[in-house]
């Protein structure tokens, strides 16, 4: 098994190593935290040991969760600009994120790298709403060693 070394391009806000985001306090992933703070009512069929009593299939749950995620998109995307062992993050505008793996170049048109004022406002509003001290968003070319 090898290590990935991905190239990344995005528009967002870069944070220093060990920056603590609100979801870090909850010890959950961003998507789980987002569902919680937005009161997602999709009930999980699981316990910590497996299915809840009487449940034998989780297909409906995953379909409902995908639908909820589609209707309530996270207005940011996390881009790790360091490594899996020592993550450092850019909070990015989702539409701006481009990445490629070693040996698999990404062909793109630089004129497609457009982020609207509305998208930047959503990113900044997210930071303000959840008390994340933000700087002005910028474009970043970074790498990830995972």
Is residue 1's pLDDT more than 60?
Answer: no
Closest of 74, 77, 100 to residue 89, by C-alpha: 77
Helix/strand/coil for 142: strand
Under 8 Å between Cβ of 127 and 13: yes
**What is the structure's pLDDT at 2?**
62
Q: How far is 130 from 25, CA to CA, in rounded Å? A: 12
Written as one string, the DSSP assignment of 58-126 is -HHHHHHHHHHHHHS--S-EEEESSBSSS--EEEE-GGG-EEEBTTB-----GGG----HHHHHHHHHH
Using alpha carbons only, give the angle 99, 117, 70 rounded to the nearest 5 degrees. 60
Kindly report, residue by residue over 18-73, the tens digit of the pLDDT. 899 999 987 889 999 999 999 999 888 888 888 888 777 777 888 999 999 999 99
Q: Phi then psi for 94, rounded to 5 degrees?
A: -55, -40
Written as one string, the DSSP assignment of 4-49 is -EEEEEEEEEE--TT---HHHHHTS-HHHHHHHHTT--PPP-EETT
Q: How far is 65 from 71, CA to CA, in rounded Å? A: 10
Which letter does DSSP use for residue 131 in this model? T
Kindly report, residue by residue over 75-94, the tens digit of the pLDDT. 999 999 998 888 999 999 99
Helix/strand/coil for 128: helix
């Amino acid at each position: 098994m090898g290590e990935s070394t991905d190239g990344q391009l995005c528009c967002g806000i870069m944070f220093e190593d060990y920056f603590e985001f609100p979801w870090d306090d909850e010890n959950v992933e961003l998507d789980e935290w987002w569902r919680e703070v937005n009161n997602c009512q999709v009930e999980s069929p699981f316990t910590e040991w497996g299915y809840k009593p009487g449940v034998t299939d989780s297909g409906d749950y995953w379909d409902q969760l995908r639908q909820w995620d589609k209707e309530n998109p996270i207005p940011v995307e996390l881009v790790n600009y360091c490594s899996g062992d020592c993550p450092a993050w850019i909070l990015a505008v989702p539409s701006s994120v481009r990445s490629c793996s070693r040996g698999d170049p990404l062909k793109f048109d630089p004129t497609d790298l457009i982020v609207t004022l509305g998208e930047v406002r959503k990113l900044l509003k997210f930071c303000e709403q959840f008390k994340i001290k933000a700087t002005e968003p910028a474009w970043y070319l970074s790498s990830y060693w995972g």
